[in-house]
Amino acid sequence: MDKKLPSIIQAEQALSEEFALKQFLQLGEKTPELADIIGVLENRELKFKEIFEIPKIFDKFDSFFNPLGWHAHDSVDLEIIKKAILLAQQDDFSSAERMLEEYYVENLNMFCTLLHGLPTYFEREHIIEKAKERFFAEDYISCVPLILMMADGFSSDMLNKGVFTEGAQLDAFDCLASNDDAFKEFISYIAKTRRKLSTDQLSMPYRNGIMHGLDVGYNNKLTAVKAWALLFTLREVLIRKKNERSDKSKFEAQQQKKTDEFYAYIKNPREYITNNIKMVDSFYNWSPQRTKEEWASILQSGDVSNCTPETPDGCLTSFLRAWQAGKYGIMAQLIHLPINTSVRKVAGDLRNALSNRQLANFTIKFIKETRGGIIFESKLYIEEEGKGNWEREIGFVACNYLENQKNFLSNKQGVWRLDDITISILCYLRRPDELTTIVADKVKS
């Protein structure tokens, strides 16, 4: 990799901090509790070191498989990438390609669901669905051009230039798939100039040859799967492009916070270390807000009439009541929003997604409190205009935040907010009959 990813920089910083903390803790009195904490930190050190190896693994995969029409991207199972590299090192490329083909087919519906995050996905959804239908029907002649068309279309929306066009800006902030020239090289293989009619059976989805009618031997599963893989790789880059400004601001804010913390340490080392020890102690000696019996009593009574946003269950019920009342601004205010994401924008997104979906009623079926947040398994009763009534079970997570960070300190009370995954859950909420269709498609595959 030519550049060090911001996420790798952050991981290195976190590792340095945890290493320093471990050294400090090792000076303390040897107790079983302290030994457990040190053990956790040592296990995390190993995990961090694995993270640092990922860019090198991607490089190695791309060097082997870019010429064959595959490119590593952030959403692919890392173990699959490692196995493919191992097979390539044994010069068994045919087995590696079969494995990659099977992986993408088995996970096709999942990857297609990830396409929903593209800004103009729903305008093109009918074409994606038709491409899936033709793929599962083994009609690759129809399927492949549709996928290549979508790659052109989605990239033109985000880059103002098709991905196969010379000069397209193919790098994205903090994106493994496009962190060096390997992605440009990969695209150059797909966009290779094809000037003559060829009836040879392809194993590459040559965009120009297929779309211009020169390569006519693309009617096979492997070429179709590689076309899908191309689209899913491109999706990863475009999503990062879409979030680039927000992610850069978040990274810069995080780096500024590191600088501020350093100066706080220089100014008063004793106070800084004491505060951090309290935070670590509160994290590792976390205690739940309520007992299991207290949570059970809420479920049994079903009484949420007195709930306020100052409690975790009140945050959720206030959020769902706001949906019932069509108050999308209040809904957005009860979500912990990513940095540089405005309440107004999220309110607009929720309004667009839910304006035809009235929440008639809701119940909380299950509550589990963990260190990472409080999980509410809820049943939603929805009335959808033109679609009738339907029900969905959804998991919501509420966390306590202090100064925009998760709060584990019992002596400092922050605010309760729903995790920002709530935005995606509701904006892409599917009816049960839509889920049945996905399952049916999976069975066909």
pLDDT value at position 33? 66
Instruction: Mark whether 52 and 191 lie in a shared domain.
Output: yes
Confidence of residue 210 (pLDDT cuts 50, 70, 90): very high
Position of tokens 């007195």?
306
Q: Give the model's pLDDT for residue 443.
A: 35
Q: Which two tokens stand for residue 138?
A: 């083994």
Same domain, 208 and 312: no
Please give the mean pLDDT across all residues of the chain.
81
Share of the chain above pLDDT 90, in %: 39
The more confident residue out of 207 and 165 is: 207
One domain, residues 46 and 123: yes
In the structure, what pLDDT confidence band is assigned to residue 280 with cuts at 50, 70 and 90? Answer: low
* DSSP annotation of 369: E
Asked whether residue 252 carries a pLDDT value surpassing 60, the answer given is yes
Residue 269 lies in a domain: no
184 contacts: CB under 8 Å, gap ≥ 6 = 170
pLDDT of residue 42: 66
More confident residue, 16 or 122: 122
Could you tell me the CATH number of the domain that includes residue 295? 3.10.450.50
Phi, psi of 369 (to 5 degrees): -100, 125
Q: Are residues 201 and 75 in the same domain?
A: yes
Q: Does position 437 have pLDDT exceeding 50, yes or no?
A: no
Over residues 5-34, mean pLDDT: 65
Domain end (from 242, 271, 299): 242
CA–CA distances in Å: residue 362 to residues 321, 324, 365: 9, 10, 10
| 273 assigned to some structural domain | no
Residue 149 has, within 13 A of its CA and on its CB side, a CA count of 14
The reported pLDDT for the residue numbered 333 is 94
- Domain co-membership, 99 together with 211: yes
DSSP codes joined into one string, 223-285: HHHHHHHHHHHHHHHHHHHHTHHHHHHHHHHHHHHHHHHHHHHHH-HHHHHHHHHHHHHHHHT
- Angstrom CA distances, 130 to 137, 148, 162, 371, stand at 10, 13, 22, 44
Regarding whether 33 and 151 lie in a shared domain, the answer is yes
CA distance 351 to 329: 9
Q: Are the CB atoms for 240 and 169 separated by under 8 Å?
A: no
Structure tokens at 73: 């991207």
What's the domain count of the chain? 2
Same domain for 92 and 227, yes or no, is: yes
> Which tokens sit at 323?
């949906």
294 and 192 housed in the same domain: no
Rounded CA-CA distance 302/198 in Å is 69
Lowest mean pLDDT among 101-105, 286-290, 322-326, 355-359: 286-290
Place of tokens 């807000």: 289
d(CA 19, CA 30) in angstroms, rounded, equals: 18
Position 284 pLDDT exceeds 60: no
Give mean pLDDT, residues 300-313.
Answer: 64
Tell me whether residue 197 is in a domain.
Answer: yes
The lowest-confidence range among 169-178, 194-203, 284-293 is 284-293
Instruction: Read off the pLDDT of residues 182-197 as tens digits, 9 standing for 90 and up.
Output: 899 999 999 999 999 9
Cα 64 → chain centroid:
26
Residues 14 and 72 in one domain: yes
Q: Is residue 32 part of a domain?
A: yes
The residue out of 242, 272, 304 marking a domain boundary is: 242
Confidence of residue 438 (pLDDT cuts 50, 70, 90): very low
Q: Considering only CA atoms, which of 410, 426, 330 is closest in space to residue 378?
A: 426
More confident of the two residues 37 and 52: 52
State the Cα–Cα distance between residues 309 and 406, nearest whole angstrom. 17
pLDDT computed for residue 399 by the predictor:
86
**Does 442 fall in a domain?**
no
**Of 16-30, 128-142, 355-369, where does mean pLDDT reach its minimum?**
16-30
Q: Is 236 found in the same domain as 291?
A: no
pLDDT tens digits, residue range 83-133? 999 999 999 999 999 999 999 999 998 899 889 888 888 899 999 999 999
Decide if 277 is inside a domain: no
Of 207, 242, 277, the residue at which a domain comes to its end is 242
In a domain, 73, yes or no: yes
Listed in sequence order, the residues at least 6 apart from 316 whose beta carbon sits closer than 8 Å to its beta carbon are 364, 376, 378, 396, 398, 418
Hey, what amino acid is at 80?
Answer: I
Determine the distance from the C-alpha atom of residue 123 to the mean position of all C-alpha atoms in its chain, rounded to a whole number: 22
Question: Which is nearest to 101 in space by CA: 127, 51, 65?
Answer: 65
> Same domain, yes or no, for 238 and 291?
no
Q: Which tokens belong to 44?
A: 């995390």
**Whole-angstrom distance, CA of residue 141 vs CA of residue 132:** 12
For residue 152, the model assigns a pLDDT of: 93
- Please check the confidence at residue 435 and state whether its pLDDT lies above 80: no
CA-CA distance, 279 to 284, in Å (whole number)? 9
Does 238 share its domain with 297? Answer: no
Whether residue 3 has pLDDT greater than 70:
no
The answer to whether residue 266 is domain-embedded is: no
DSSP 335: B
Beta bridge partners of 430: none
Tokens of 367: 């509550």
The single-letter DSSP state of residue 201 is: P
Q: Which residue has the tokens 């929805």?
A: 382
Structural domain for 355, as ranges: 286-437
Strands (E), 299-412: 357-370, 373-384, 388-402, 405-406
pLDDT band at 444 (very low <50, low <70, confident <90, very high): very low
